[in-house]
Structure 1
Amino acid sequence: MNKILPTSTAGSLPKPLWLAEPQTLWSPWKLQGKELHAGKQDALRLALLQQQRAGIDIVSDGEQSRQHFVTTLIEHLDGVDFSRRETVRIRKRYDASVPTVVGPVSRKGSVFVDDAKFLRLQTKQPIKWALPGPMTMIDTLYDAHYKSRKALAWEFAKILNEEAKELAAAGVDIIQFDEPAFNVFFDDVNEWGIACLERAIEGLKCETAVHICYGYGIKANTDWKKTLGSEWRQYEAVFPKLQQSKIDIVSLECHNSRVPLELLALIRGKKVMVGVIDVASDSMETPEEVADTLRKALQYVDADKLYPCTNCGMAPLARHIANGKLHALAAGAEIVRQELLG
């Protein structure tokens, strides 16, 4: 888009209390059948309105139609048995009971395309849609079939490419792949993870993004962050190769984190969604705090390539907290925008 410093969110927004349990990540739905379908659409409209009233430029569905940012897609695939559960370590942080890959994985049909078409009908603004990345998908399953992380990720990349092409045809302007696993499995990322991501974006006509963060503000993530020391340099391991990749935009966490902002220089030339909103705290940023983070980022990112964003999704937050943070995001970006325009 032509506007300088266009704002966006990383993905999820809190769901309304009549749809799911407030401030609960991955809460079960409170509705069923046709009521659930209508409720998801109503929630999508509310999430869009929330973003528009706050002044967000690139809008999304707020992930209102999804219970989980990874498994909602996997639920629609063949080859995965959700009744056969195994306990695995997710991103080396916490144990979870996950479904099992029991045969070749394949897509039965479109998963999110109808939802994306519905969002496209509601607005003329640029829209972004988030999909899980291949490496994060394999980290959320037990593989009893392929017995190879790389082989399973490659199959998921092909499935994601099918879905992404249909989303682009439905009018999505930016397709974002969520890859928090890129902050953990550095050797795999460089050996085959980025190649899988490029397979997922192959032939796409829209812009593409990869979101690499330190996770939602849940205890397992905040406890992990406490072990990372005074500087969080995980991005340093993957940014050089990512800078050479075909992905258009890199989304990362900056505000209230210990990420040295000079690491942004490693992806110079890429568009960067700079996280200026802390999603692990109920404390609301002021516009000036947002502006200050953006000014620092501008030392390493060209102004025409900087997209102010949130650190991660805001699903676990209270709705009024998330709303206040959205307003701060837009207002802080406007301060710096005016400074740049003189």
Structure 2
Amino acid sequence: MHTLLPTSIVGSLPKPAWLAQPETLWSPWALQGEALREGTHDALRIAVHEQHRRGLDIISDGEQTRQHFVTTFIEHLSGVDFEQRETVRIRDRYDASVPTVVGAVSRREPVFVRDAAFLRTQTDQPIKWALPGPMTMIDTLYDRHYRSREKLAWEFATILNEEARELEAAGVDIIQFDEPAFNVFFDDMRDWGVATLERAAQGLRAETVVHICYGYGIAANTAWKATLGSEWRQYEESFPLLQRSVIDTVSLESHNSHVPMDLVELLRGKKVMLGAIDVATERVETPEEVAGTLRRALEFVAPDKLIPSSNCGMAPLPRSIAFDKLSALSAGTAIVRGELEAV
């Protein structure tokens, strides 16, 4: 891609009301069977259309084919029992009922490849597909089989690599791994988290992204953020490790956060996918607000390495607001692009 400051979204867009409950994170599907497959592809078409219409450069599925960014992938694996459920603490923040690992995990068949191939038919622009990262996957399960977070993470890394290679073969240009757990479990991340992420990305020719955020705009995350003080410095733990990793791009939360912008300096040489849209508010940013965030980032990252984006997924937002935020991202980026090209 040769576009200066190519725009992209991190993850989800709201689903249509006929597919899932509006403004509800991880809502159950309203359709089943063949109607669900058709419905998710229709929703994917709408998501692509809106990204085109709002001026985005890198196109995603808006996670229209996933109920949950982690468990929808795990549902397709053997060795995990969704009937046996346990309550666990997710990222040390909130309790959730999760499935149980009861045997060796393996991937019976491709999970998202058919959906990604369909996305490829809907646009000529570069496409991006998101997968859960190994550390975040193990944080969303109860493990009765391996009894080792590290061992299970390595197993998931191998499975993710199989899926990623097939997504690449289906025409996906950019593969994103979501690792919000990197902002919480620093010791595990240092000891084996980055290594398992690299295993998931091994041998890929597609560009790779790791997305680390502070979560959707839901109450549990908002309450956690309120405890983090006037400066959020969690990225100091992961950025130096990722700067030395094989991952091409690091995606971070920035706009309206308390993340000091100079932490981006720790990623020097990597591409930076910078959140310039806040997903925790229904107020739509002005183009100038977006431009201001991007200008501050350009003090620490070269223009050819900056990818303007959203902070996180927008699934819980009203659809009209999410789409208007896409327009704001494009308009704000266009201001800065013009300034750079005028120099």
* Class of the TM-score when normalised by the shorter of the 2 chains: over 0.9
* Deviations, residues 121-167 of structure 1 (Å, cap 9, x unaligned): 11110000000000000000000000100000000000000000000
Could you tell me which amino acid in structure 1 is paired with residue 306 of structure 2?
L
Determine the structure 1 residue equivalent to 2:158: 158
Partners of 1:71 and 1:293 in 2: CA distance: 33
Other structure's SS at 2:85 match? strand
Alignment partner, residue 268 of structure 1: 268
SS at match of 2:257: coil
Partners of 2:199 and 2:34 lie apart in 1 by 36
CA distance in 2, matches of 1:37, 1:112: 12
Specify the alignment match of 1:288 in structure 2: 288
The alignment partner of 1:238 has SS state of helix
CA distance in 1, matches of 2:205, 2:284: 37
TM-score (norm 2): 0.99
Counterpart of 2:144? 144
The C-alpha deviation readout for 1:68-121, integer Å capped at 9, x for no partner, is 000000000000000000010000000001000000000001000000000001
* Residues 1:61 and 2:61 aligned together: yes
Q: CA deviation at 1:34?
A: 1.1
State how 1:21-40 maps to structure 2 within 5 Å: 21-40=21-40
In the alignment, the residues of structure 1 paired with residue 237 and residue 166 of structure 2 have an alpha-carbon distance, to the nearest angstrom, of: 32
Instruction: List per-residue Cα deviations over 1:6-61 (Å, max 9, x = no partner).
Output: 00000100000000000000001111111111101100000000111000000100
Counterpart for residue 336 of structure 1: 336
Hey, what does 1:17 align to over in structure 2?
Answer: 17
Amino acid at match of 1:140: T
What code does the residue aligned with 1:320 have? S
Please state how far the C-alpha of 1:226 moved relative to its aligned partner.
0.1
What SS does structure 1 have at the residue aligned with 2:106?
strand
How far apart, in 1, do the equivalents of 2:230 and 2:181 lie?
Answer: 21
1:43 aligns with 2:43: yes
Which residue of 2 is the match for residue 102 of structure 1?
A: 102
Aligned to 1:232: 232
CA offsets 1:275-318 (integer angstroms, 9 cap, x no match): 00000000110000000000000000100000000000000000
Alpha-carbon distance in structure 2 between the residues aligned to 1:2 and 1:155: 36
Find out whether 1:182 has 2:185 as its counterpart: no
Moved more, 75-84 or 29-38: 29-38
The 1-side partners of 2:249 and 2:141 are apart by 27
- 2:295 partner SS: helix
**1:319 to 2:316 alignment:** no
Q: Distance in 1 between matches of 2:176 and 2:122?
A: 20
Percent of residue pairs identical: 72
> For 2:100, what is the secondary structure of its paired residue?
strand
For 1:75 and 1:257, the matched residues in 2 are separated by 33
Amino acid at match of 1:128: K
Secondary structure at the residue paired with 1:156?
helix
Question: What does residue 304 of structure 2 align with?
Answer: 304
Deviation string 1:220-259 (CA, Å, 9 cap, x unpaired) is: 0000000000000000011111100000000000000000
Classify the secondary structure of the residue corresponding to 1:88.
strand
Structure 1 residue 205 displacement after superposition: 1.2
Q: What is residue 210 of structure 1 aligned with on the other side?
A: 210
Q: Which one-letter code corresponds to 1:2 in the other structure? A: H
Tell me, which stretches of 5 or more residues in structure 1 are unaligned? none
Aligned residues: 342
Q: CA RMSD in A?
A: 0.4
Q: In 1, distance between residues paired with 2:32 and 2:267?
A: 45
Q: Residue type of the partner of 1:76? A: H
For 2:267, give the aligned amino acid: I
5 Å-filtered alignment, 1:77-116, equals 77-116=77-116
1:312 and 1:43 map into 2 onto residues whose CA distance is 20
Deviation at 1:327, TM superposition (A): 0.2
Secondary structure class of the residue paired with 1:323? helix
Corresponding residue number in structure 2 for 1:241: 241
1: CA distance, partners of 2:162 / 2:241: 25
Show CA shifts across 1:192-233 (max 9, x none).
Answer: 000000000001110000000000000000000000000000
Paired with 2:30 and 2:267, the residues of 1 have a C-alpha distance of 43
Counterpart residue type for residue 9 of structure 1: I
